[in-house]
Amino acid sequence: METLSFGKNSQGKETSLYILENKNHAVMKVSDHGATLVSLLVPDRDGKMQDVVLGYDKASDYEGHTCYFGATIGRNGNRIGKAQMVIDGKPCSIAANENENNLHSGPNGFDRALWEVKGHTENSITFSHLSREEEQGFPGNLQVEVTYTLTDENAVEITYQGKSDKATIMNCTNHSYFNLGGHASGSVEQQELQILAESYNPVRDAKSIPTGEIAPVAGTPMDFREPKPIGQDIGADFEQLKFTGGYDHNYVLSSHAGEFKVMANAYCKETGIAMEASTDCCGVQFYAGNFIGDQEGKGGAAYCDRCGFCLESQFYPDAVNQKGFPSPIIQAGETFTSKTSYRFYVK
């Protein structure tokens, strides 16, 4: 493993970039800033290495972001309605950072933390962080780890482990934006996507809090059970897509977490790069990058709306407040683990 400087963060602390390579010469670059997946180089059909995730060149660029490129999200991924919840019978209020809701755990999310390197092997690295009660406002001191592994099958495996001294939320995810044409290649709307889910969670309005319903995708533009271009139905006259400016919804993979299975497949015909995504989570948020905006990414690349897509494995949005949803709460002393994998190949 090679280690490079990733610049100083806003607190003046040094950050690092860790580079791991497998036997196929695929390369994964991750940072202790936000336990972030910064770069992922995999071969296309001509053997040329393509960086298939969006990102920045140094830690300080991530601190000015609004997109969470490649970041580890926690304690809670996605939204909590009105930034309030009840845990272990006690009301809890946290920061409202999107409308009146909490998104991705607020301004002190895991994406802003400087993680410690607990250990590494030739093909993996484990980051560790002690999330104290006062950091985000959730109850309990949560010791959390995230491990990135680059396998010889060109898969990035991400595992999470957490243990708290009080009942709390443990719902981490990774917020990588994928572009199988290469991170600087522009729109992903012609790239094909398949999501292996029969249903999804409709949202009430543009604030994106679920109604509590689990609705079938059949007969709607939300249906990705068969592969189709991401942009094929994104502009359809459909209320859910109008609320969120395109796809930004949780797809229901199962009624409970724990079973590791394929959740999605994606493909870019220009490069021949395909991706198989698997998880043991019960849901996956598909976000089509609707609000990336115009910004400068790695190597001066021009990023814009819909030039990357996210498949964020997690509990359903606002699950802590929705009685019919699987619960993201772990009990004091309980060790919670979760795993998600993104495997890349050529077809």
Catalytic positions, written as ranges: 175, 312
104 and 318 in contact (C-beta within 8 Å)? no
- From the number of C-beta atoms within 10 Å of its C-beta (0-12, 13-18, 19+), residue 77 rates as buried
Calpha distance 144→130 (Å, rounded): 6
48, 49, 300 from 26: Cα distances, Å: 10, 8, 22
Under 8 Å CB-to-CB from 18, ≥6 apart: which residues?
A: 1, 2, 3, 29, 30, 31, 32, 117, 120, 125
7, 36, 117, 245, 346 from 30: Cα distances, Å: 14, 5, 11, 30, 23
Q: How do strand 199-200 and strand 79-80 relate by DSSP bridges?
A: unpaired
Structure tokens, 221: 């533009």
For tokens 């670059």, what's the residue?
29
Structure tokens, 60: 């300080």
For tokens 């609705």, what's the residue?
215
β-strand partners of 129? 144
Structure tokens, 152: 């010889």
